[in-house]
Structure 1
Amino acid sequence: MKLLSWNVRGLGKPRTVGRLRDFLRDVNPSVVFLIETKLHADVMLKVCKRCGFPNGIEVGSRGRSGDLCLAWRNGCQISLRSFLVRHIDFMVFDDGSGQWWRCTGFYGAPKEQNRRASWNLLRQLNDLPNVPWLIIGDFNELLFSFEKSGGRIRSQRQMDDFREALEDCSLADIGYTGRWYTWEKGHFVETNIRERLDRGVANPGWWSLFPDFTLSHLSHSFSDHCLLLLLTMVQSGPRVQWHFMFEAAWFLEDSCEFEVKRLWTASSGPIPERLRFVGQGLNVWFWRLRASRKVSKLDLTKRLEDLAAMKPSDDSLEETMEIKLALNLEMDKSELYWEQRAHANWL
């Protein structure tokens, strides 16, 4: 199965919701844990349904609604155990292994003075030591000083408290693939700070149940947190067959007007035949466009990952911003493409 965890830092803007829907469509997770959604419960659940997750629970924090949300697709077996403002605890059935295992979506206290209360919560949740258990989310803390670059040095006591809490619960960091940090702020070298705040930790039972898992830090073009994508096993699905139709997203392509004029000029005969010729030509152009767009998006994402692995400089940070803008434009095209298929009155 696939499970996605992400601190979205607010879903109040329609464009952000569209970006979320685009990401969920690309990675196709079965379960999604979202942090800091900043939406009221009824609105957040509507967003989940729009993204293809009809089942879910939303937990509001003190003074705000919608800080945590757990959502899952039809066919996914979920049994809720407990939830508060800092966690959602549940059991999930894995089709691949044929077993139930425990998962906790976690959000550590952002303020340092409340961090110990978060670690005590972990100890309280440790009531089923013999059940495979994974905790995933934004812990807002480091395990080691090398997990931070820039800014003030992290207190050793803070990191020791976090490690002690994990040891008391027999939990260990499960590692990752991709960029080493999961949170970043500052667009100049002097102000740039990078930290690994988001992670997954698990007990020995979970490690034994899923020896071939992967946890990836996914690249992004918005939010200052990376997405965490957990795969307990490799999955693949059939591709959806595409049928010709005029795409509203083509208007975002600079070559669209030129292509229509070129095809119309090259056509001959009665108008219906000329229209059929233009349609067939646009069909070929569309497939080439989709192929080049996919390659372009992959190249941009790969370059974003390369820049993330480099030591920050003014040039690299400037290029990072340019790539994020280019990725946002590609997502605009993809969003318009899927809006047309959903017959949604998005305006």
Structure 2
Amino acid sequence: MKAGKSRLEKVKKSIGFSELIVVDAKGSASGTCAMWKSSVSLHPIEFNKNLIVVKVTKAVCDWFLVGFYGPPYATKKKNAWENLMALLESFQSLWVCMGDFNFIISDNEILGGNRGGSSATNYLKELIFEFGAIDLGCSGNKFTWAKRGWGNSAIKRRLDRGIANISWRLAFPRASIAHLGAISSDHAPLLLDTNPKDSFAHRPFRFEAARIRDNNCNSIVEKACNERVTGSAMVKLCKKQAATREALRKWNKEIFGHYQDKINCLMNKIAEVQKNPPSTDNGKIESVLLTDLSEWLARSEVMWRQIKRTVAQRRG
């Protein structure tokens, strides 16, 4: 993570979070950060350039969440991994550890590049053996890191994952990790869901300023307003408003859709493309999807700005 604290403060506000921990990047070394909502009972325990540890307090049980970055350089690996193992050893409770470990644990987590064995210590394997830890598995793209993009010459690895002690897994038997699409990064983000739900409620339709970004918006409104209606001037106005509202509702459902639905769909498509074998065609498809995603993210940003203004006006 190369972003500074001021940039991360903006990101925190834009996604509705209130709390932030930042370990700034120094030189070529990346930093780390954690964000959460004040409604979550979470307490920072330790943080440095390689890890962030927080304690999650729940009614059922307390547990530790560790975000870890394993240095890729041999000279720095030993110290970082020894610190992580000492930390996990000190926990007398449930824990889960996620992040970029910069190690694989089997040959099927490699695509392309050199498959030759290495005499160097695999600290991830040692940790799993030492603590009897469980790999939480994943859904989505099998690989989480790619070199030279995701095209023909891509080299892919599963360097990022989540592991936990047996007690944590027993406490959260339905917990799962999803590999999301890699957007403007060589790493795919991980999403840990401790209690997956089967369905989500839909939000009611509301017209928002971001829809003006779509070229079809004006024509939808113009066509509805130009419909021939009868009655007094007031009745005609009401009928045209009703027709416009219905046309926009239909357009929203059939064509435009909900922002997050569209964004999720595009991210899923990107993740699916990144699952496929590297090829020129897949690279072109990914490029188009990333362009579409950027537009929908821009629309979403406009929507949230409008919502914030509305909330601020209501509060006076």
What residue number does 1:53 align with? 17
**Match 2:106 to one of 144, 153, 162:** 144
What are the equivalent positions in structure 2 for 1:1-347 lying under 5 Å apart?
A: 36-40=1-5, 42-63=6-27, 67-95=31-59, 98-153=60-115, 156-158=118-120, 160-187=122-149, 189-235=151-197, 240-243=203-206, 245=207, 247-268=208-229, 275-291=237-253, 292=255, 293-294=257-258, 299-343=265-309
Which of structures 1 and 2 has the larger relative contact order (alpha carbons within 8 angstroms, sep 6+)?
1
Which range is displaced more, 186-195 or 138-147? 186-195
Query: Normalising by the residue count of structure 2, what TM-score does the alignment of the two structures yield?
Result: 0.83
Measured after TM superposition, the shift of residue 155 of structure 1 is 5.1
Gaps of 5+ in 1: 1-35
Equivalent position amino acid for 1:173 in 2:
D
Contact 1:263/1:277 (CA < 8 Å) preserved in 2?
Answer: no
Measured after TM superposition, the shift of residue 180 of structure 1 is 0.4
Equivalent position amino acid for 1:83 in 2:
F
Which range is displaced more, 215-224 or 172-181? 215-224
Measured after TM superposition, the shift of residue 54 of structure 1 is 0.8
Measured after TM superposition, the shift of residue 43 of structure 1 is 4.2
Q: Deviations over 1:205-235 (max 9, x none)?
A: 2112112211111225433322211111135
Contact 2:179/2:188 (CA < 8 Å) preserved in 1?
Answer: yes
Contact 2:41/2:57 (CA < 8 Å) preserved in 1?
Answer: yes
Equivalent position amino acid for 1:82 in 2:
E
What is the CA–CA distance in structure 1 between the aligned matches of 2:72 and 2:232, rounded to whole Å?
Answer: 68
**Change over 3 Å in CA distance of 1:272–1:337 after alignment to 2:** farther
What is the CA–CA distance in structure 1 between the aligned matches of 2:306 and 2:81, rounded to whole Å?
Answer: 46
Measured after TM superposition, the shift of residue 61 of structure 1 is 3.4
**Change over 3 Å in CA distance of 1:65–1:159 after alignment to 2:** closer
What is the CA–CA distance in structure 2 between the aligned matches of 1:302 and 1:312, rounded to whole Å?
Answer: 17
Identity %: 24
The two structures, once aligned, show a CA RMSD in angstroms of 2.9
Contact 2:146/2:155 (CA < 8 Å) preserved in 1?
Answer: yes
Equivalent position amino acid for 1:313 in 2:
S
What is the CA–CA distance in structure 2 between the aligned matches of 1:267 and 1:67, rounded to whole Å?
Answer: 62
What is the CA–CA distance in structure 2 between the aligned matches of 1:281 and 1:154, rounded to whole Å?
Answer: 67
Contact 1:188/1:314 (CA < 8 Å) preserved in 2?
Answer: no
Contact 1:216/1:229 (CA < 8 Å) preserved in 2?
Answer: yes
Measured after TM superposition, the shift of residue 64 of structure 1 is 8.0
Equivalent position amino acid for 1:260 in 2:
V
Rg larger for: 2
Equivalent position amino acid for 2:9 in 1:
L
SS across alignment from 1:157? coil
SS across alignment from 1:258? helix
What is the CA–CA distance in structure 2 between the aligned matches of 1:282 and 1:84, rounded to whole Å?
Answer: 55
**Change over 3 Å in CA distance of 1:162–1:283 after alignment to 2:** same
**Change over 3 Å in CA distance of 1:70–1:305 after alignment to 2:** closer
Measured after TM superposition, the shift of residue 331 of structure 1 is 2.2
Contact 1:38/1:64 (CA < 8 Å) preserved in 2?
Answer: no
What is the CA–CA distance in structure 1 between the aligned matches of 2:41 and 2:94, rounded to whole Å?
Answer: 16
Measured after TM superposition, the shift of residue 290 of structure 1 is 3.1
Equivalent position amino acid for 1:304 in 2:
I
**Change over 3 Å in CA distance of 1:67–1:199 after alignment to 2:** same
Gaps of 5+ in 2: 311-316
Equivalent position amino acid for 2:67 in 1:
G
What is the CA–CA distance in structure 1 between the aligned matches of 2:67 and 2:89, rounded to whole Å?
Answer: 16
Which range is displaced more, 169-178 or 233-242? 233-242
Contact 1:264/1:274 (CA < 8 Å) preserved in 2?
Answer: no
What is the CA–CA distance in structure 1 between the aligned matches of 2:135 and 2:243, rounded to whole Å?
Answer: 53
Measured after TM superposition, the shift of residue 308 of structure 1 is 2.4
Contact 2:180/2:189 (CA < 8 Å) preserved in 1?
Answer: yes
Contact 1:59/1:65 (CA < 8 Å) preserved in 2?
Answer: no
**Change over 3 Å in CA distance of 1:190–1:51 after alignment to 2:** closer
Measured after TM superposition, the shift of residue 296 of structure 1 is 5.5
Corresponding residue pairs, total:
304
